[in-house]
Amino acid sequence: MLVKFLFKPNPLAGWVLCAMASGALAQTQLPTVVVTSTAESLTQPSVERARESLKSIPGGVSVVDLNQVREGRQSTWSDSLGLAPGVFIQDRFGSEEARISIRGSALSRTFHSFGIQILQDGVPVNYADGFFDMQTVDPNASRYVEVLRGPNATSYGAATLGGAINFVTPTGYTQTGGVARAEVGSFGYHKAFASHAGVSPSGSGPVWDHYVATSLTEQDGFRDHAAMANQKLIANVGVKLSRDWESRFYGAAVRSLSQLPGYLTLAELRQNPAMASSARGPGAYNNLYPFREPANRRRDVETQRLANKTTFSQGPMVYELAIYAMHSRLWHPIDNIVEQSARTQGGHLKATYFGDRHQISLAYLPNSGSTLGSSKPSNHQGAAIGPAFSQYDQQSTNERFFGEHKYRASAHTVWTAALQYDRARRKVVDVLSSPNNYDHRFEQWSPRLGVTHEASETSQWFASLSRQFEAPVFGLAGTATQANLAQTGTTLEFGTRGEGKGGKHVLAWDATYYRAQLANAFVSACVVAGCTTPTTTNVPKTLHQGLELGLHHRYDRHFDTRVALLYSDFRFVNSAYYGNNALPGFPPLILRGEWLYRFGQEVHGAPSTYVGPKFEWVPRKAPMDNANTLYNEAYAVLGLKAGQAINQKWSWFADARNLTRQKYAATTNIAASYATAPLGAYYYPGEGRALYLGVEAKLD
């Protein structure tokens, strides 16, 4: 399928390929660039190279150093991304699945997610329609994470509201030897992780390097019916054929089994937040509690993924070719028995010219996928009781063409102009339920103009104006929904990032203000007056604006403070039913941080021992329905973290959470209006008081 994409007759693809070829032919007349040394990967940037590269993007971007995260528990995505500027993420029930959103992406979805391009080593792990499973990525097996918010992710082919998150694994060049890590803690939690990396010695021939990691995680869960178990294997093998040519092969296999405890009423949350949902089965199954049946209400996923990325440089030109394939199987007994088998394949072809004042990039990024699935009636105990009433093939194709020109107007100022063309198709063929069938096509040109200015050697400001585009995912495009239009919009953003020093103080900052005006936004809303059950639909106009702030302050190398503040103002715009009400599902303000005191002997260039509090504070209530009649309460959660790098090889940590046993809802369900039923089961409790311990060894 990828070969068909890359080589079928296509005028736009031909334009990209011809432009790439002409750049190569002209290379003898242009200045050359410094080639990466043999001691560094061409295909997999180090964390230092990633930070330097992102400085040229005129918008909200950041790099999360996961070595800092590993000073505490690293199990869920919120462990890794909780302090990343601009990322809203909340664990739903202590497992890997979380509610995640950037700039209000996927507000209509309180489970799983879409609207963000998720990548592993620059290769997408989303299904072709845009949906993604968090279970397919292991943050433990990543060295760092790139977070490119909103249209700042166009280099990865993402022009969506949420942007892209790229988990980057180590290579044999960035890690040598083995790492073994074990974590244990409350609610039956335990995790074992091991990895090995290295470079194979070679004379004058090809140089091989490798990284392989495996992990096992299990927990009973804070809540009843919240057990989780997963096994993951992630690896990459690179071969450097010359100082200008490298090819890297990637593989991953994941098996994740999760029980789903369901929502609670506010009264149940206050009385016993650890209980599973008390909802009863329908009709003849009214004597059952579906969320308390071991084989029922669960989500079990198995995924395998293979990829290759090859980088070749010739004078001032750098070319990158990637190809990938992914297969996933889903067993999902909920109200019905849902089974799916999904295949996704794709790749990209990129060429970049590096000149004295110009950097020009062209890219073609296609992918496609097919999900074969069925829905069968359930006995609400995890088994089907009849033949399928829906049997479908969900087909997605996407083609993205991207061009970007960075022009250095002066020693301190770089202008960026970019243009992306998206073409997408969403088709459903249901052989048992023809009303579910549809075939929709979407396309858009998305221009972008931005500027970065270096105010000093260590600080800069930036601004940009961008168009954005997002085709619907399945479940939004037709089937039981009315979201049959692409979500589009225009985003204006400006901000500053950098580092300043004064005396014993060092302050690093990342601050971005954005304002996105959306058309046909994906929102769960009423489409007729007076309804109480919303339908995912295209809302004509919404406004998303906010402030994304990250601060890191160090004093005298001993006092270490990190803070992430996220202010969000998301609203309907002149809605016929909701006026200018706030959009539900997102707290207006959330503040996370930690304050650590570091002391002791020097290890890895820093004091070896640390201890201090950490916190999460939501000071304002958050609306739960479009009518703004019901709100999730404000809360504050306090924790404590301590640890020590005993020497160059051994380290340990202790991570205590929710020390005050706060009973709160980390996230909630959303609806059109809860005015007539304010006491229903809409709340997902946050985790109770917990303690996690871990030890890590770096082995030669």
Give the three-class secondary structure for 74: coil
Mean pLDDT confidence for 214-227: 95
Q: How does pLDDT run across 418-428, given as a tens digit for each residue? A: 999 999 999 99
* Bridge partner residues of 675 (DSSP): none
Q: How confident is the model at residue 91 (pLDDT cuts 50, 70, 90)?
A: confident
- Asked if residue 207 has pLDDT above 80, the reply is yes
Average the pLDDT over 120-140 and give the result: 91
Residue pLDDT, tens place only, 255-294: 999 999 999 999 999 999 999 999 999 988 999 999 999 9
CA distances from 656 to 184, 186, 638, 641 (A): 12, 10, 9, 6
Q: What is the pLDDT of residue 550?
A: 98
Give how far the C-alpha of residue 140 lies from the chain's centroid of Cα atoms, to the nearest Å.
15
pLDDT tens, 316-365? 999 999 999 999 999 999 989 999 999 999 999 999 999 999 999 999 99
pLDDT value of residue 526: 57
Q: Binning pLDDT at 50, 70 and 90, where does residue 93 land?
A: confident
Distance CA 147, CA 277 (A): 35
What is the three-class DSSP state of 93?
coil
Token representation of residue 298: 């669960």
If residue 406 lies in a helix (H) or strand (E), which one and from where to where? Answer: strand 390-408
Q: Please check the confidence at residue 17 and state whether its pLDDT lies above 70.
A: no
Q: Is the pLDDT of residue 576 over 60?
A: yes
Q: CA-to-CA distance for 333 and 258, rounded, in angstroms?
A: 11
Question: Residues near 516 by Cβ (< 8 Å), separated by ≥ 6?
Answer: 103, 104, 150, 161, 468, 489, 490, 491, 492, 543, 544, 545
Q: For residues 114 and 19, which has the higher predicted lDDT (pLDDT)? A: 114
pLDDT at 203 over 80: no
Helix (H, G, I), strand (E, B) or coil at 83: coil
Domains in the chain with CATH codes: 2-699 (2.40.170.20)
Cα separation, 367 vs 346, whole angstroms: 4
Q: What is the dihedral of CA 480, 481, 485, 489, to 10 degrees?
A: -150
Residue 297 C-alpha from the chain's centroid = 25
Token readout for 305 is 């993924």
pLDDT over 70 (residue 476)? no
CA distance 584 to 603: 47
* E strand intervals along 471-578: 487-502, 505-525, 535-555, 559-572
* Gap between the Cα atoms of 511 and 549, Å rounded: 4
Q: How many CB atoms lie within 10 A of CB 640?
A: 16
How much of the chain exceeds pLDDT 90, in percent?
A: 81
| pLDDT of amino acid 372 | 96
User: Could you write out the DSSP letters of every residue in 360-391?
Assistant: EEEEEEEEEEEEEEEEEEB-SSS-B-S--SEE
Identify the CA nearest to 274 among candidates 658, 595, 642, 564: 658
**φ and ψ at 109, to 5 degrees?**
-120, 115
pLDDT at 529: 53
Q: Model confidence at 112, in pLDDT bands (50, 70, 90)?
A: confident
pLDDT band, very low/low/confident/very high, at 387 (cuts 50, 70, 90): very high
Closest C-alpha among 511, 360, 373 to residue 430: 373
Task: Report which of residues 613 and 539 the model is more confident about.
Answer: 613
pTM value? 0.93
Confidence of residue 629 (pLDDT cuts 50, 70, 90): very high
Confidence class for position 13, pLDDT limits 50, 70, 90: very low
pLDDT at residue 527 above 60? no
Rounded-to-10 torsion of CA 389, 391, 392, 393: 170
Most confident of 99-113, 421-435, 524-538: 421-435
**Residues 54, 44: Cα–Cα separation, whole Å:** 15
* Whether residue 212 has pLDDT greater than 90: yes
- Identify the CA nearest to 343 among candidates 379, 384, 305: 305
User: Does the structure show a pLDDT above 70 at 187?
Assistant: yes
